[in-house]
Chain A
Amino acid sequence: MALIEIPVGPQHPALHEPIMLRVRADGEKVVDVQVVTGYNHRGAEKLGERNTWNKNVFLYSRICGICNTVHAQTYTQGVEAIGGIEVPPRAQFLRTLIMELERIHSHILIAAVMAEVVGFESLFMLMMRDREPVMMLKELVTGNRVLSDYYTLGGVRRDIDEVRKDKILKVLERVEERVKYYKKVFTEDFTLNKRLVGVGIIKAADAVKYSLVGPTLRGSGVKSDVRSDDPYAAYGEVPFKVITYDGGDCLSRMLVRFDETLQSIEIVRYVLTHLPQGPIAPKTPIRMLPAGEAFSRVEAPRGELIYHIVSKGGDKPYRVKVRTPSFHNIINGLIAYKEAKIADVPVILTSFDPCISCTERVLIIDEKSGNSRYIRLKDLGRGV
């Protein structure tokens, strides 16, 4: 049979970061996958060199909509390390709170997308319905449901009161119940299991060698989580478990996220009940920094996010290098597609929780006849 090449991507209206996977297949079997990048390089690193330290807090929190506060955290904690700036304990706890709320809604989102990709649309709808209250909690704490601008150098910009605290705890009770139910659905549903179990297997040694991060790494049984290995914000004081699953397949990666969501709910409860009193930000804004450099790491919902910030002194950074977790997981995760079926390609890609927008439309080319036709990713997932 002729090899066919299937470009998966590069545009998707719902998620961001366009990318294309060039899938070469022999019949149903995937022979090789190449990744095509560079559709939307936004130059945030270059722009950061022109902005002041304070302005960059807003710039870098806009790199990602879903991981909005973790980017702000990585940038601010790097700058704080260079300047030797002490962050008040209450602000550290509030930062932890908002990052965990973000992890909860991000993990629910990708589980919902996974349900949609395998054709289980009613589950997608239900999960998106149950994700919305968490977005509202983010709005309650920060004033905005997506791009929050919650951070400032040395602290956070808004405090919370008892009324908000009670509201968060109340909403999370319902969310916890629903997440437990969805975990049960993913574990027990026959169709979901058919699509996820044993698909896109990555062995533990390969996951490390190919520098995969986050739930993708932990889904292969490797215990590595920045929150516990390299604590930042208030994570050093908050008890929580690092979740790993040994399967290395798509289901393991999804179950890591479900268990992490439940852990995040526990973290939020702990943070709210142990919230220290005191200021939330320095009295005077920080404008000038000494020379120095910082390697700042944070566990984003998708894995390790790292910023390398260099200062030569003054009011602007000399260099800001940003490496997002999806950059490793999407490009180095290509090893997982070998020997998979074509219909599994979208499932494997989704199991990495890619922060990209690749794939509503797919072009199928028959290399022998030269004919081509477009189909939607959803239909490809269903094996149409």
Chain B
Amino acid sequence: MSKVVEFLRNIGLVQREVKQARRYVFEVSPERLREVVSGLIKVDENIYVSTISAVDYISEGFIEVNYCLWGINDAVMVVLKVKAPRDSPKVPTIHDLIPGALNSELDTYDLVGVVFEGNDKLRRGFLVPSEVVSQGIYPLRKDFKV
């Protein structure tokens, strides 16, 4: 059993079943996210942020932020799913814990509008063109129609 997966199970996170091999998906509350990530890198420092992917569940009223972390030593992908309310999506930043998360946080803020609290480098226009930014649109939200 992988050390990182064992750690996540031991701290009482809810695990979701997935079909793919080597993928372990856990649900984390925004309040516990930083504690979980800092615990993870203590258990195994060879973990990098593969991507942060936010999905707008408009009818359910929340945005789900998926932190995809790849553990190099154990060859496992750990996905931490954090739910944030759609009207004010806020999650804590992890870029001070894993600096490689910075570009993914910038990308997710600019395209989906998830605010990573504590990240002072967040800015609009990182990827989105200025005419879209000026209208205050987050293009990958479901209520933005092309």
* Chain A positions near chain B (C-beta within 8 angstroms): 37-38, 41, 43, 45-47, 50, 81-82, 84, 205, 208-213, 222-224, 229-230, 292-295, 297, 304, 306, 308, 310, 318-319, 321, 323, 327-328, 331-332
Contact = CB atoms under 8 A, between A and B. Distances in A.
Interface in B113-146: 125-129, 139-140, 144, 146
A50 B129 CA distance: 21
Interface string B59-72: 00000001010101
Contacts of B140: 45-46, 319
B23 interface: yes
Contacts, number: 102
A332 B103 contact: yes
Interface of B: 18-20, 22-23, 45-51, 53-56, 66, 68, 70, 72, 75, 77, 79, 98-104, 107, 111, 125-129, 139-140, 144, 146
Contacts of A229: 72, 75
B66 A211 contact: no
Contacts of B19: 81-82, 84, 292, 294
Contacts of B146: 43, 46-47, 50
A38 B127 contact: yes
Contacts of A295: 20, 23, 68, 77, 79
B128 A208 contact: no
Given A295-B68, A321-B53, A332-B102, A41 B127 contact: yes
Contacts of A292: 19
Nearest to B133: A38
Contacts of A45: 111, 140
Given A208-B45, A331-B103, A308 B98 contact: no
B100 A210 contact: yes
Given A38-B127, A211-B48, A230-B77, A310 B101 contact: no
Contacts of A332: 99-100, 102-103
A306 B50 contact: yes
Given A82-B19, A308-B53, 13 more contacts: A45-B111, A45-B140, A46-B139, A46-B146, A81-B19, A209-B98, A211-B100, A222-B72, A295-B20, A297-B77, A306-B51, A318-B55, A323-B51
B55 A310 contact: yes
Contacts of B99: 209-211, 332
Contacts of A294: 19-20
17 contacts: A38-B127, A41-B128, A46-B146, A81-B19, A208-B47, A211-B99, A211-B100, A222-B46, A229-B72, A230-B77, A295-B20, A295-B23, A308-B53, A310-B55, A319-B56, A323-B104, A332-B102
B50 A297 contact: yes
Given A81-B20, A328-B103, A211 B50 contact: yes
B76 to A, nearest CB: 9
Contacts of A84: 19
A327 B20 contact: no
